[in-house]
Amino acid sequence: MNTSVKANDYQLIYDHLLACVQQEQPQQVIERFRALFIMGYTYPDRHVQEAMDRIVTSSNASQNFRPFVNRCCHILINRWQSRPLLQGAVPDFLAILETQVSMPAGGLSRAPIVRKLRLLLKDYLNSEAFQKLQRMVQFLREDAQDTSQILKNSDRPLSTLIRRYPYLYNHCLIGDETTPEELKYIEHYQRQAVQQFEVNLSQYLTSEFRRAQGHVNTPTVKNPTLLTPEEVKASVQHFVGKIDQRHTYRDLANHFEHRLQRLKSTRDFRDAFFHYLTDTIPDVGRGRFRQKFHQYLDTLPAFQQPQPVNEFTIVRTCSQTLNYLVVDSAQNPNHLVFIDLLNNIGTAATIGLLLKVVLVSKKVKPYLEKRFAILFNHYQSFSRGKVRWLVNCLEHFNIANVTHFGKQDFSFFGRY
């Protein structure tokens, strides 16, 4: 049975839920939601039930139900989340959503509508929109725990670390249904998180340097990363120190930028870009990677025939290179090249290779962040301990990010 949705059916349910969540206790509202969106019958308000039936049986229900139910979830969660005493209702609500409900028996008078409703809801629960909602709830609820405490909880899912990585927020938390209030909060916390990590890292490095110099009265500052002290020191030295005994990453990028001005064709750019990225790669695994990477560059359209070098070519080449080095897309999350690099040249050098691409074109930095977000989303349900390699990558990129794009000068720490 297909019906036409009335103009105000969606709004009628939005307004109804908003009135309920403002006037009733969370458990009452959760039961209402369960009756209306999951069970599909016995809802006490006949007009609301009829509006829901028209939405479910309409010809375009498969396209419209996802954003509709997503907005309904946000209406309830936003209200509860804004009131500390009611925040405990949010996980209860999500648990109800994910409770398995069997399909109705064929003899029930409402069986066809209920069956369609539950299939539509299942489709929503498998969607990216619902995953973003879950991550948003996790983000809002998760405390900024002490790093030593985080390290003890290695059995918790990777998704619970989302607050640590502000460069993932735009891609993991924000969607079409993100409210202006949520967006404002995320943007505020994003700026705050970047600034705080930068300050904490600087203070930690300063403390470690002074203690290494024999200043025994220097106060101990907590390590702001999930890396060991030795890994932090090596990471900072790698990103701001000289990687080939003579040049820093920034030096190499500046030299390459000057060379770009003299290149006459995209073929020249391809060769220069290839050597810029690969010449400082450690010897282990270098030969095989260089061969495969050169073959990949040859397949890119920009290098199929000679043409002048322009900004579009540079940005496009850099973004396609990040696809190859990290991961192509959420639909094709193959990241074997990335894993191979980590195993052969190490985490810092692998993140450094990605940093070199970004230093050629700052415009692809959000694109790189999107690659990390794809991996984060792909492994979000894994325990932190099982994807320690990815946590290490995200931590190293945190350091690379603030040392190259932050406001403080970390160059001094490249020498200690």
Stretch 114-136: mean pLDDT, rounded? 89
Taking the domains of the chain in order of start, what are their residue ranges? 9-126, 180-414
pLDDT of amino acid 144: 54
How far separated are the first and last CA of the chain, in Å rounded?
73
pLDDT of amino acid 54: 93
Cα–Cα distance for residue pair 262/394, rounded to 1 Å: 36
- Tell me which of 119-128, 276-285, 371-380 is least confident: 276-285
Cα–Cα distance for residue pair 53/5, rounded to 1 Å: 9
- Using alpha carbons only, give the angle 365, 247, 199 rounded to the nearest 5 degrees: 55
Cα–Cα distance for residue pair 155/327, rounded to 1 Å: 25
Stretch 163-168: mean pLDDT, rounded? 93
Mean pLDDT (the chain, rounded): 88
* 249, amino acid identity: Y
- Show Cβ contacts of residue 208 under 8 Å, excluding neighbours closer than 6 positions: 221, 229, 233
R_g over Cα of the chain:
26
User: On the CB side of 291, how many CA atoms lie within 13 Å of its CA?
Assistant: 3
Cα–Cα distance for residue pair 270/384, rounded to 1 Å: 38
pLDDT digits (tens, 9 = 90+) for 239-265: 999 988 889 999 999 999 999 888 888
Q: Check residues 140 and 204 and name the one with the higher pLDDT.
A: 204
pLDDT digits (tens, 9 = 90+) for 394-414: 999 999 999 999 998 888 886
Which token pair is 129? 């929109």
pLDDT digits (tens, 9 = 90+) for 68-92: 999 999 999 988 988 888 888 998 9
pLDDT digits (tens, 9 = 90+) for 7-54: 789 999 999 999 999 999 999 999 999 999 998 877 999 999 999 999
